[in-house]
A = this chain, B = another copy of it.
């Protein structure tokens, strides 16, 4: 499985993904699930992926092919689309088409599918973030629901429900997604390090901070330990 989460805040966008994929429990690998398309200052589009690797890789490859091929026209080019809504639409259509193509090769019972988070901003436009369903339709993050999750989303939702609002700072937002991921990592083996973190400050139209957090990362472990201690301390101080 996978866990990816994106926050759409007044100050910007914060995105985090794990990198574990598996074809059965005995075939586990590391694959990047965060993809950045960027023309700094003009446009930034970030895509997080969850689901069948054959579907997500093929979708990303086709999206990139259109960008790289000057003859393919602008209709399906996420770097030329006039709005982020159109970007979401292009990604959704591509994802749905790839899924149909792959499903044709498989029996009915297997059914490969995938979902994606698409987030970004183009110069002069608003920051926007979408969750693309396997069928290509999508929903958008709003003031009321400033975060979107794909994959193993349940373990890490309580902390987000409690601390994330549109007013959350980018610094707190990074803490929140990392702690949300930490809870998921502890409770579910199919989500694994390393992690990819990206921050897009409002109106910069570029990824302002991007980090890979490796398995032995000292800062992440210190934060995880501090959070465990805070939880246990909080727990012991509560009256029944």
Which residues does A use to contact B, with CB under 8 Å?
152, 154-155, 157-159, 161-163, 171-172, 174-176, 178-179, 183, 186-187, 219, 222-223, 226-228, 230-240
Enumerate 22 A-B pairs (CB-CB under 8 Å) in ascending A order: A154-B155, A155-B157, A159-B231, A161-B186, A162-B186, A162-B228, A162-B232, A172-B235, A172-B236, A174-B240, A175-B235, A175-B240, A219-B240, A222-B239, A223-B239, A226-B239, A227-B238, A230-B231, A230-B234, A230-B235, A230-B237, A233-B234
Q: Find the residue from A162, A175, A226 having the highest chain B CB count within 10 A.
A: A162
A154-B187, A155-B155, A226-B238 known; 10 new pairs, CB 8 Å cut-off, are A159-B235, A163-B235, A172-B235, A179-B238, A219-B240, A223-B238, A223-B240, A230-B231, A231-B231, A234-B234
Closest to A229 in B: B234
Copies of this chain present in the complex amount to 2
With contacts A227-B234, A231-B162, A231-B231 taken as known, whether A240 is within 8 angstroms of B176 at the C-beta atoms is no
In the complex the two chains form, what is the Cα distance from A181 to B223 in whole Å?
A: 25
Inter-subunit contact A171/B234 (CB<8 Å)? no
Among B162, B175, B183, contact of A238 (Cβ-Cβ < 8 Å): B175
Q: Smallest CB–CB gap between A195 and chain B, Å? A: 14
Residue in A157, A183, A228, A238 with the greatest tally of chain B CB atoms within 10 Å = A238
Residues in chain B near residue A172, CB distance under 8 A: 235-236
- Are B235 and A187 touching (Cβ within 8 A)? no
Residues of B within 8 A of A157 (CB): 155, 187
Min CB distance, A171 to chain B, in Å? 6
